[in-house]
Structure 1
């Protein structure tokens, strides 16, 4: 089989393909899955670029979707022929966040080998069923971006009809959040620096858009759009460079889900304003296996299909990361064998 690996110290020039033997043995709780597609996330890029060091020869990518080819004697959740999608935190089954989900030690493509291989053998907890009728590329968007949006808005956020959601940018998480929020009867405001992308977001159902380059004080613009009430939910992907505006934009008693660090890892927080608004600021990384199963059920019920910008071949993974880094995409970037 073929696998896409990373030579240390990282860097896109150190991504390479290797022919290797497929796993031959399954433990009693293992499943063998033939991977057909994956998708890219900013976390994957940080690993590939060497910003998040990993073992030499690490197989890349956290997201993977495919078909179960064999199961161990004690596997109960999955069966041969099932279409499945990988889990970001396979050790976190359900309930409150577990201590081992406080980092990436067991995350595919980082602490352990990832899904950029034609065949993988993992414990059954590493996968859930994929949405019925979805392509493998569509399913591969669920693992990180989709589950993050679900947990931020629904599992932790308690999103309800009539709420207002602000999501930053037009990447995979933001587009999943837009689609999910609209399906649940919420109003959505999308920010971006691209008028072209904002027009596409409007076509996907966004109620309002803000170009943050034309309107740097976009938090005030959100307050104006909501007649002074602010947004109940903010999907915050920027980090320190955008957090002050998110706090300006959030409603009294609202929630900011901090899920991205696109503008850096450290910065000031206007704590007094956050306190005066009685708002909740929650750091949030993806979700549990149960969150993923619930999200899949919701997707099957409401007919949402993910926004996929472009699909590369696995052998073009370095080029796919370069395309991601350029920031011209909207929604998800996928790879297929």
Structure 2
């Protein structure tokens, strides 16, 4: 009798467990459909925006001299060459400044820093800085680089301001990439008598480079497309010469803002064409970074 009761209880428990599994699978399918629907909405809206931009600006973008001439006060004349050069220089300076500092800070926090209260405060502040609005960084750059260091409204001031904007993102993503490296890889290296720095430089960093480059892609794309901080630092919307590091500068987002605020109808198509140029520039930089990331992933 006791055995039959136990068998009945076990059968009831198995049936209840099966019902719970079925409910969870059904609920999971419902959320899968909801998330897929949200993804399709986002892709649809993005497609509409791209279709509208291409329809308004593709003809102006393909017109002779648009990419190679300086701006003009006439909407159907001139080009965006100074803005393209400025954006490329801004992106290069951001990469050269933020990658060594950001990756170095991430390596120190993950591999060398002791687990103390002050490191916890640093980590919290870095995470908080990643969500600070860009205009706040613009005000910081205005005070430090324009006035304190005396660079003035030059391209170097804008580039260093964008570097401050990008650093928290690179540090956070680099820490996650370094943390994802298996400890067994480190322990195997230490077991062979290899020093800590040699282990980090020969094993940890190459293994973490794909994740680090992902953070670099995100941060540089955000920096090149940012306009608020550059307006505060002193970027201009009209420039008739190719800028240098210590000269007045403009950028593609500032050029778009300058065009879109003008009342003449022709400037709307010029703004759409400039948006196309900005998208292509970001895609080109992302393509190079993705190619490098894939090469390291294969290796």
Structure with larger RCO (C-alpha < 8 A, sep 6+): 2
Q: So what's the TM-score if we normalise by structure 1? A: 0.20
Structure whose residues are more often helix by fraction: 2
Rg bigger for which structure? 2
